[in-house]
Amino acid sequence: MEDDNVVMIDDEDDVYKVTADDEIAAIDFELQKIDEEIDKLKEKRLVLSQRKEKIKDNELLKKSLKTANKNWEKSTFSWSKKLENGLADIFKIKKFREHQLSAMNAVLSGEDTILVMPTGGGKSLCYQLPAVISKGVTVVISPLIALMEDQLYGLKKIGVKSGMMNAKTDKDITKSMMDALEGKNHDIKLIYITPEYMKKSKRFMAKVQKAFNLKLLTMFAIDEVHCCSQWGHDFRPDYQFLSCLKSMFPGVPILGLTATAPAKIISDVQKMLDIQGCLVLRAPFNRPNLFYEVRRKPADKDVCLSMIQNLLKSRFADKSGIIYTTTIKEAEQLTSDLRDKGLKVGCYHAILEPEVRSKIYSRWITGEYQAVVATIAFGLGIDKSDCRFIIHHCISKSMENFYQESGRSGRDGKKAVCIVLYRLADVFRLSPMVIGDKVGLQNLYKTLEYCLDPQTCRRSLIANHFEEKWNKNDCAEMCDHCRCPKKIKETDIGNYCRQIYQIIDKALKTDTNLTLIKLIDAWFSKGTASHRVAAVPVPKFSREAGENIVGFLLINGYLKEDFVFNAYSNLTYLIKGPKAGRAMDKSHKIMFVHDEGLGI
């Protein structure tokens, strides 16, 4: 009786028996080759698409450059004397900073402008001063009420009348704002509003239309303008409502302001706001007084706490700073733990009552608190010039966030320190939070790449991200890599990658989801025995080195996060990445540059 699973192949005089398993294996081999070709074509398509977009964006930037060639710094405009007097008499400032005068002259000339300037560079003055010397009203669109309140407080101190409108604004204040838009209250110079309120309030938009008809609309200032772009790190859908401003109010200049925006986002913002080819002013990103450092974050909570305690009591003794955390719960717990160790710190986050937040902020400003332990919302627009250190208890969600948060130190130009406490496990806590954003995961991996890099100047990594030209001498040993260079080694980790795949394959066969910890445990022959693979040897290097390898494989597409959402939480597991087919080819090298001290 013939076996149904055997196929007879007659090759002239020889007869071969081919089993169904052999045939399936042959088909699987062909399918793998096809998948590899598809991966290569997808990569090529992506590269070509990106190149096409880059060319189109460059054309927009060329138009912007042509506009920038005009001398916007001159002091012969009809309003130049008013600007000088307002700067000295009202704002008590002796001279303009870089690009401030250009931005003011441009918008007062009716020119749409985007100003990219580092945190603490003086962006708000670029619409506040023109508003003060103009007869009309400037509408400032800002994403955070806390940021608006801080600016209103500053304007009130110098006698500039302004106000904010939102759902909770007092009726009398709302009336005074509406009167200003109708020309009945000429004292009000600036009206602050969120894009959400602007979109929802038909009454407000009707009043803005009236101000436009009366020629009382000076400009629209859009703060954090990168939020308009879906490619930005803080995209907010309600910002897209602002795309109607140019068509509804032709001739009214738009001033977009941001501390962080690469060329792609600038081009996207121009298209979205219908101000293509507008004037773009970009201040240098380098903050020469900031020292950048990345430290390995201890897995043990008590060891990590001791590290922070030591920093605050020795290196940063009698100095003021901010410790950033990811969640409210972490901020409260870390504050409690540090207080138990005798440190004077306050906790600041969004759900605290306004009077409590104000009290904590005041105690930090006056020096009663050495540091504020806070979620990332704290510090936006806050100008405490003597903030000497920033500690990130967890890595930031993007390089843009990291740059902004770090930039809240050293605003007085004196030296300040920015330390990131890095641990791979934190990346997997953050990824479910950002997966809903179009480029959230991509942005998070850029920060991971910054932390994993073992040798490149930290400042050059930041400059490259923001497409800034960089000279290696510009750092002047103001980062950990330039001050204390490590011995670097390059290793082909292809074999380690394939060992990890064996662990993942075994887990798949038993419908097991592998978290980072479970994967690392199985690789180092720890944890649940059923997750281990007998054929995979225990690495001779440290667990830290193993985590670095996993991080490198993740950001380079050899591994991938798989997200599972349930009623209680969002979970992430590790699976093979899009480059798995290539990695399975033993001739394919995966070169990993690392600190020689890792022992890989």
Tens of pLDDT along 538-565?
A: 999 999 999 999 999 999 999 999 998 8
| CATH number of the domain that residue 458 is part of | 3.40.50.300
Band (pLDDT 50/70/90 cuts) for residue 10 is: low
Least confident among 15-24, 441-450, 526-535, 550-559: 15-24
Query: What's residue 24's pLDDT?
Result: 85
- Lookup result for tokens 């303009």: 96
Inter-residue contact 245 to 220 (CB < 8 Å)? yes
Inter-residue contact 344 to 368 (CB < 8 Å)? yes
Residue 13 scores a pLDDT above 60: no
pLDDT, mean of residues 161-177: 86
481 with 496, same domain? Answer: no
Supply the pTM of this predicted model.
0.78
* In 102-146, beta strands by DSSP E: 113-116, 137-141
Query: What's residue 1's pLDDT?
Result: 47
Q: Which of 257, 282, 307 is the last residue of a domain?
A: 282
The verdict on residue 92 lying in a domain is: yes
541 with 429, same domain? Answer: no
The verdict on residue 59 lying in a domain is: no
Structural domains of the chain, count: 4
Percentage with pLDDT > 70 across the chain: 94
pLDDT, mean of residues 334-339: 97
Count the neighbouring beta carbons within 10 Å of the beta carbon of residue 294. Answer: 21
Helix, strand, or coil (residue 396):
coil
Query: What's residue 15's pLDDT?
Result: 53
Residue 6 scores a pLDDT above 80: no
Query: What's residue 12's pLDDT?
Result: 53
302 with 314, same domain? Answer: yes
The verdict on residue 61 lying in a domain is: no
Inter-residue contact 500 to 519 (CB < 8 Å)? yes
Q: Determine how β-strand 113-116 pairs with β-strand 279-282.
A: parallel
Which residues 6+ apart lie within 8 Å of 208 measured at CB? 139, 181, 217, 249
Q: How far apart are the first and last CA of the chain?
A: 57
pLDDT, mean of residues 74-97: 94
* pLDDT digits 0-9 by tens, 451-498: 999 999 999 999 888 888 888 788 999 999 999 999 999 999 999 999
Start-end of H helices in 158-220:
171-181, 195-200, 202-213
CA dihedral 502, 435, 422, 425 (to 10 degrees): -40
Q: Determine how β-strand 488-492 pairs with β-strand 591-595.
A: antiparallel
435 with 511, same domain? Answer: no
The half-sphere exposure of 327 on its side-chain side, counting CA atoms within 13 A, is 7
* pLDDT digits 0-9 by tens, 283-328: 888 889 999 999 999 999 999 999 999 999 999 999 999 999 999 9
Please state, in angstroms and rounded to a whole number, the distance separating the CA atoms of residues 306 and 72: 53
259 with 327, same domain? Answer: no
* pLDDT digits 0-9 by tens, 370-405: 999 998 766 544 667 899 999 999 999 999 889 988
355 with 444, same domain? Answer: yes
The verdict on residue 95 lying in a domain is: yes
Residue 14 scores a pLDDT above 70: no
- Lookup result for tokens 């060992």: 499
Please state, in angstroms and rounded to a whole number, the distance separating the CA atoms of residues 328 and 350: 8
199 with 76, same domain? Answer: yes
The verdict on residue 63 lying in a domain is: no
Query: What's residue 202's pLDDT?
Result: 92
313 with 207, same domain? Answer: no
Band (pLDDT 50/70/90 cuts) for residue 7 is: low
Inter-residue contact 348 to 408 (CB < 8 Å)? no
Which of 322, 403, 380, 369 is closest to 150 using CA atoms?
380
Please state, in angstroms and rounded to a whole number, the distance separating the CA atoms of residues 220 and 397: 29
- Lookup result for tokens 């042959």: 26
Task: Say if residue 93 is exposed, middle or buried (CB neighbours under 10 Å; 0-12, 13-18, 19+).
Answer: middle
499 with 533, same domain? Answer: yes
Q: Which of 459, 485, 511 is the last residue of a domain?
A: 485
Residue 4 scores a pLDDT above 60: no
Band (pLDDT 50/70/90 cuts) for residue 575 is: very high
Start-end of H helices in 435-564:
440-452, 458-465, 480-483, 494-509, 516-523, 543-555
Band (pLDDT 50/70/90 cuts) for residue 68 is: confident
Q: What strands lie across the sheet with 320-324, from one edge to the other? A: 290-296, 416-422, 387-392, 320-324, 371-374, 345-348
With b meaning 16 or more CB within 10 Å and e meaning fewer, what string describes 232-259? Answer: bbbbeebbbbbeebbeebeebbbbbbbb
391 with 480, same domain? Answer: yes
* pLDDT digits 0-9 by tens, 419-458: 999 999 999 999 999 888 878 899 999 999 999 999 999 9
Read off the tokens for 50.
Answer: 């990106």
Which residue range forms the structural domain that includes residue 542?
489-598
Query: What's residue 8's pLDDT?
Result: 57
The verdict on residue 195 lying in a domain is: yes
Residue 200 scores a pLDDT above 70: yes
Helix (H) or strand (E) holding 390: strand 387-392
412 with 496, same domain? Answer: no
Please state, in angstroms and rounded to a whole number, the distance separating the CA atoms of residues 278 and 281: 10
The verdict on residue 58 lying in a domain is: no
481 with 494, same domain? Answer: no
Read off the tokens for 114.
Answer: 């985007």
Q: Count the helix, strand and coil residues of the chain and give each as a percent rounded to the nearest 5.
A: 45, 15, 35
| CATH number of the domain that residue 557 is part of | 1.10.10.10
Please state, in angstroms and rounded to a whole number, the distance separating the CA atoms of residues 546 and 500: 10
Please state, in angstroms and rounded to a whole number, the distance separating the CA atoms of residues 442 and 392: 20
Please state, in angstroms and rounded to a whole number, the distance separating the CA atoms of residues 536 and 532: 8
Q: How many residues does the chain have?
A: 600
Instruction: Work out the mean pLDDT of the chain and round it to a whole number.
Output: 89
- Which range of 148-157, 175-184, 491-500 scores highest in mean pLDDT? It is 491-500
Inter-residue contact 171 to 200 (CB < 8 Å)? no
The verdict on residue 164 lying in a domain is: yes
Query: What's residue 23's pLDDT?
Result: 82
Looking only at Cα atoms, what is the longest distance across the chain? Answer: 106
